[in-house]
Amino acid sequence: MFLRIAIKSLLNRKGSVIMSLLAISVAIFVLLGIEHIRQQARDSFASTVSGVDLVVGAKTGSLNLLLYSVFRVGAPTDNISWEAYKEIAEGKDVAWAIPLSLGDSHNGYRVLGTTPDYFQHFSFGNKRILEFVEGEAFEGVFDVVLGAEVARTLGYSLGDEITLAHGTVSTSFSLHENSPFTVVGILSPTGTPVDQTVHVQLQGIEAMHAGSESGFGGPAMYNQGQLEVDEIEPKSITAFMLGLKSRMVTFRLQREINGYSAEPLMAILPGVALSELWQMVGVFESVLRLISMLVLVAAVLGLGAVLLASVRERSHEIHLLRVLGAPSYYLFLLMELEALLICLAGMILGTACLYLCIVALGDALFSNFGLHLDAGVLTQDGVVILLFVLAAALTAAAVPSIRVYSQAKAYNSQ
Amino acid sequence: MMIELNGVSVTQPNAPELSILDIENWSVDYRQTVFVHGPSGSGKSTLLNLVSGLLECREGSISVLGERLDQMSRRRRDRFRANHIGYVFQRFNLVSYLNAIENIELARSFSERGDRKTSADTIRPLLESLNVASREWLKPISQLSMGQQQRVAIARALVNRPELLVADEPTSSLDQDNRDTFLSVLMSIIEEHKMTLLFVSHDMGLAGHFTQVQALNDINRVV
């Protein structure tokens, strides 16, 4: 009966109740959404690279090196010579090394020049190795392996011939028309920038640049099919990743590389650089959180105001319930129950909207920002947030509830 | 005695020197129908609030059905009222957003007594005996006429089979025809259930229906 009164009473005041319900659901949407995206962004960044002990590039900020080498964000400051790479990669502590050469693009997707080792040693998430949906790793100079999203968006399949451009803009004029590449492999989705990357051999990049650097743009120095990987020696690369035989030597090797005399090099630990990134992003996150908190406070205050306004028009009802034998606290609880119902309905609506939005916009977010959002909105943190909102709503509703309670009690003395 | 007041005095809550009610001795026997009249502001509603235990009695003693209301806690008085006293006012007897059946069930939910029969068994015969047509039962109260509302209010007041029915100007918002119907239905129900009725009004024209007529000014020593 108690619940029925509360529901009927709310239905009786549909207009204001729906308004405050919507306010609550907007607050829930913002609060959960921000928390969810924040969490997912961290997870997705943290899972982009794993098992890599050191990333080495030309001297720059450690964050910058991490961003351009691993996340393909921003531009490298300088290249490093092939000789330096060779020397360090062949050191006795190094288990494996993956060279990275960036700077080219295909239809807006970054082209990464590397070696077949990339597919063996590079891992993401919880030490997951890259897997092929179709085909296999490249062997020839003009072989291309596509990330999952590149293949899907551009509609490429095995055997297709594609052209790579210099520079990273899709409308770049300096198309390397003479060096068509052939798709030999397509990777399975990873939820990391790998999905948006076009992978070729280091020699492939050298080959297409050699063609244009000749100045004629005419018949390329290298012709497809006639070229063996061994015949070309890359001159420089952008950065490289190192896996070490023992974690113990990481810092020593890092110091050695930072002090490399032949050219200015820099080595970073991906984990350390990531935590630097979080420190920077942390301030921004706090501001977002604060804003969503304020949205919540506004919504909850609105709920309190709506209930408070209803107290006056319900004075007959309060008196009647008292006469029927309802104790004063019954009226207090009735008010709180109404707040609880509005709040719960708002939560369900807000969470459902967020879920639908993520499902609907997930693809767009992924292709534009490389952010892979899991639709599971109700994480443990999410539930904590909801409980917090519930507590806030009940606290705000305490004002009208106490008003009703004291009004109910006043009948005893008048 | 059904109701017994001794040396009861009530003052205004915010002005303790101003008395509203001061009754030395007054009692109502079982199965009486008592008509209390007096001009408005003479303390009629205060008397009813005292008898129903809504208002705390700070001076003197008041007992209903032989139980001392002035010695009960507030919570016990609430329960006592739900169990033993039915109440009908002039207006606003019902929760406007509930229908007739729900209003009656609401009253039942506060009482600990009464038959544990299903609501249909208790409520339907009650509404039928009060001439409330069954098509009105599930309509929101706001769609019922004033006369229908007052009859549903009696059903609500009677559902817990109270020994005492308290009525505070229940006919004032009714026209002549409805007033007569209301009174005759009320009286036959009181007779049928062997209840005591305490009826307050300023309308002396109703006095003829009652077994005991009492001018409030005769027992209230406040001038």
ipTM here: 0.89
Q: Is the predicted pLDDT of residue A359 greater than 70, yes or no?
A: yes
Residue of B nearest to A413 (CA): B55
Q: B38 Cβ partners below 8 Å, 6+ apart? A: B44, B202, B215, B216, B217, B220
Q: Is the predicted pLDDT of residue A300 greater than 70, yes or no?
A: yes
Residue A168's pLDDT is 53
pLDDT grade for B71, boundaries at 50, 70 and 90: very high
Q: Is the predicted pLDDT of residue B116 greater than 70, yes or no?
A: no
CB contact under 8 A, B87 and A412: no
Residue A214's pLDDT is 43
Residue A196's pLDDT is 85
Q: Is the predicted pLDDT of residue B54 greater than 80, yes or no?
A: yes
Q: Is the predicted pLDDT of residue A222 greater than 50, yes or no?
A: no
Residue of A nearest to B112 (CA): A325
A31 and A62, same domain (yes or no): no
Distance from CA of A289 to the nearest CA of B (A): 41
Q: Is the predicted pLDDT of residue B172 greater than 60, yes or no?
A: yes
A107 and A181, same domain (yes or no): yes
CA dihedral B69, B73, B79, B81 (to 10 degrees): 30
A224 and A356, same domain (yes or no): no
CB contact under 8 A, A8 and B98: yes
Q: Is the predicted pLDDT of residue B115 greater than 60, yes or no?
A: no
Residue A251 in any domain: the answer is yes
Final residue in a domain of this structure, among A238, A268, A298: A268
Q: Provide the CATH number for the domain around residue B175.
A: 3.40.50.300
Which of A72-81, A97-106, A162-171, B74-83 has the lowest average pLDDT? A162-171
A89 and A180, same domain (yes or no): yes
User: Considering chain A, what is the average pLDDT of its residues?
Assistant: 84
Distance from CA of A333 to the nearest CA of B (A): 15
pLDDT in tens, A133-172: 888 888 888 889 999 888 888 888 888 888 776 655 444 4
Residue A273 in any domain: the answer is no
A235 and A151, same domain (yes or no): yes
Mean pLDDT value across residues A71-98? 87
Distance from CA of A349 to the nearest CA of B (A): 25
Write phi, then psi, for A268 (nearest 5 degrees): -130, 155
Orientation angle between helical segments A270-313 and A62-70, nearest 10 degrees: 90
CB contact under 8 A, A324 and B98: no
A132 and A259, same domain (yes or no): yes
User: Which among B13, B87, B95 has CB closest to A413?
Assistant: B13
Residue type, A42: R
For testing contact with chain B, the best of A3, A323, A334, A406 (most B CBs within 10 A):
A323
Cβ pairs bridging A and B (under 8 Å): 65
Q: How far is CA B186 from CA A267, B145, B168, B180, B210, in A?
A: 96, 18, 13, 10, 11
Residue A217's pLDDT is 39
Q: Is the predicted pLDDT of residue A173 greater than 60, yes or no?
A: no
A16 and A85, same domain (yes or no): no
Mean pLDDT value across residues B80-106? 90
Question: Based on the structure, what is the number of domains in chain B?
Answer: 1
A66 and A165, same domain (yes or no): yes
A340 and A294, same domain (yes or no): yes
Taking the model in full, what pTM does it have?
Answer: 0.76
β B196-201/B33-37 pair status: parallel
Residue A210's pLDDT is 65
Final residue in a domain of this structure, among A240, A268, A296: A268
User: Considering chain B, what is the average pLDDT of its residues?
Assistant: 88
A89 and A196, same domain (yes or no): yes
Chain B neighbors of A11, CB-CB under 8 A = 97
User: Is there a contact between B123 and B105 (Cβ–Cβ < 8 Å)?
Assistant: yes
A37 and A162, same domain (yes or no): no
Extract the tokens encoding A335.
Answer: 């008010």
Distance from CA of A341 to the nearest CA of B (A): 17
pLDDT in tens, A234-283: 888 999 999 998 888 899 999 999 998 888 999 999 888 888 888 888 88
Residue A36's pLDDT is 86
Whole domain around residue A14: which residue ranges? 2-45+281-410
Distance from CA of B207 to the nearest CA of A (A): 26
Whats the size of chain A, residue-wise? 414
pLDDT grade for A216, boundaries at 50, 70 and 90: very low
CB contact under 8 A, A412 and B13: no
CB contact under 8 A, A4 and B110: no
Whole domain around residue B44: which residue ranges? 3-219
- Residues of A in CB contact (< 8 Å) with B are 1-2, 4-5, 8-9, 11-12, 316-317, 319-328, 411-414
Q: Which residue has the higher pLDDT, A164 or A57?
A: A57
Final residue in a domain of this structure, among A268, A298, A328: A268
A219 and A362, same domain (yes or no): no
Residue of B nearest to A320 (CA): B93
What does chain B look like in DSSP terms, one character per residue? --EEEEEEEEEETTEEEEEEEEEEEEEE-TT-EEEEE--TTSSHHHHHHHHTTSS---SSEEEETTEEGGGS-HHHHHHHHHHHEEEE-SS--S-TTSBHHHHHHHHHHT-S-S----HHHHHHHHHHHTT--GGGTTSBGGGS-HHHHHHHHHHHHHTT--SEEEEESTTTTS-HHHHHHHHHHHHHHHHHHT-EEEEEES-GGGGGG-SEEEEHHHHB---
Which of A17-26, A119-128, B93-102 has the lowest average pLDDT? A119-128
Residue A378's pLDDT is 79
Q: Is the predicted pLDDT of residue A218 greater than 50, yes or no?
A: no
Residue A189's pLDDT is 84
Q: Say how far apart CA A4 and CA A159 lie, in whole Å.
A: 67
User: Is there a contact between A388 and B31 (Cβ–Cβ < 8 Å)?
Assistant: no
Residue A274 in any domain: the answer is no
Give the best-scoring range by mean pLDDT among A179-188, A389-398, B119-128.
Answer: A389-398
CB contact under 8 A, A411 and B55: yes
